[in-house]
Amino acid sequence: MSDRTPRAVLPTRAFVLALADVIKTNDYFYMSEAVFISAVMKAARGQTDPNLVREAYHELMREAGLPPIA
């Protein structure tokens, strides 16, 4: 038996997998902040922090040299 039993909810893992699901195509370049957050939260089944998703959206837009869509 292992003593390394993970927690039932892993919000960082949920965030990374949901974010990957949303950005696997370039459709997110055309999403508003609200739509992006909604898409990631849906993919994460609500198991991540929307503020973290908001930060990721702005970082992705900065990286792409695009202004965020309100």
Per residue in 24-58, pLDDT (tens digit) is 999 999 999 999 999 999 999 999 999 999 999 99
What pLDDT sits at residue 35? 98
Indicate left, alpha or beta for 63 from its phi (over 0: left) and psi (-120 to 50: alpha). alpha
Place of tokens 């292992």: 2
Q: What angle do CA 59, 40, 56 make, to 5 degrees?
A: 10
What pLDDT sits at residue 26? 96
pTM: 0.88
